Amino acid sequence: MTDKEVSLRALKNVNEFMAEMNSWEAEFFKVRKESLAGGGDDPAIKASFGGRLEKILNKFALKDKSNFGRLIDLGCVNPPTYDPQSDVIEVISVSGDEVVFQIQQTVGVEVTSRIVMVCKAGEWKIKKKESLGYDDKWKRSPL
């Protein structure tokens, strides 16, 4: 398989991950905002959306503390963290069963991040995400 074929398969999974995360975060933000505006912070909302997020992460990422770190506080922002429609995705490197993508947000806080994908048992999974800090250094960040 050529590097281009490998990167296209990994890119398909990155795009699916970003689309599912975008949908999850946009809906969670809306529901949570409505709940807070109504004067409450319903734990059932967090439980429901936490379960949905865990399913997404299990589907697309290798399980580790950082990848699943978002489950701890269920952060959500508007605009969503991931937007496959507007984010610019670039292949940085392809090495065997590993592909590194750089993702540039074009709306919101315009974070530059990179996602390392690995192929395990025939499935592409996110190994890690790093974000470029203000000091121009890459730092591990939760999905």
Which tokens in the block code for residue 99?
């592909």
Instruction: Classify the C-alpha dihedral 67-139-14-91 as positive or negative.
Output: negative
Token pair for 119? 């192929």
| pLDDT the model gives residue 62 | 98
- Beta carbons within 8 Å of 82's beta carbon, 6+ residues apart: 17, 18, 19, 21, 22, 25, 103
Q: What is the pLDDT of residues 39-94, one digit of tens each?
A: 877 889 999 999 999 999 999 999 999 999 999 989 899 999 999 999 999 999 99
Over residues 109-133, mean pLDDT:
96
Ramachandran category for residue 110: left, alpha or beta (phi over 0 → left; psi -120 to 50 → alpha) = left
The predicted model scores a pTM of 0.94
Report pLDDT for 28. 96
Predicted local distance difference test score (pLDDT) of residue 39: 83
Query: Which of 70, 76, 80, 135 minimizes the C-alpha distance to 103?
Result: 80
CATH label, 3-140, candidates 3.30.70, 2.40.50, 3.10.450, 3.30.110: 3.10.450
Reported as type and span, the H/E element at residue 24 is: helix 3-37
pLDDT at 4 over 90: no
Residue 92 CA, chain-centre distance (Å), reads 17
Q: With 80 as the cut, is the pLDDT of residue 1 above it?
A: no
Each residue's pLDDT tens digit, 5-50: 899 999 999 999 999 999 999 999 999 999 989 887 788 999 999 9
